[in-house]
Amino acid sequence: MNGIPIEHGILLSAILFSLGLIGVLTRRNILFVLMSLEIMLNAAGLAFVIASARWQQADGQIMFLMILTLAAAEVAVGLSLIIQFYKRFQSLDMDLLSKLRG
């Protein structure tokens, strides 16, 4: 890790994850919620890479690659859902989705 204490790295990733969680919980615009989800996924990936650098094993980076793939697939599906949502409701307010329950 070139002299960086692992606690500080993990702390940074925890802070970023909490910020993403706060974003998911407080924002009502659905695009902001998707962006906050990206922040949370990214923070998880950061924790994996930091652990990988601490023990000098490449396994953590492979988990990071998997998270990257997951984020890409999630964004593609999520954004096309948002486009459909906008076509029906002409709005990005997430609370309108409560009408979806059967």
Partner 1 sequence: MTLLLFYTAALIAVLATVLTITRTNIAHALLYLVVSLLSIAVIFYIIGAPLAGALEVIVYAGAIMVLFVFVIMMLNAGKKSEDQEKAWLSSTSWKGPSLLCFILLVELLTLFDEGISGTVTTQISAKEVGILLYGPYLLAVELASMLLLAGLVGAYHLGRDEQVSEEDSP
Residues forming the site for partner 1 (CB under 8 A):
1-4, 8-9, 12, 15-16, 19-20, 22-23, 26-27, 29, 31-32, 34-36, 38-39, 42, 45-46, 49-50, 52-53, 56-59, 61-62, 64-66, 68-77, 79-84, 86, 92
- In whole angstroms, the minimum distance from the beta carbon of 61 to partner 1 comes to 5
State both tokens at 44.
């998880």
Contact call for residues 28 and 93 (beta carbons, < 8 A):
yes
The secondary structure of residue 3, as a DSSP letter, is: T
Residue (90 or 98) nearer to partner 1, CB: 90
Q: Is the dihedral of CA 74, 77, 80, 81 positive or negative?
A: negative
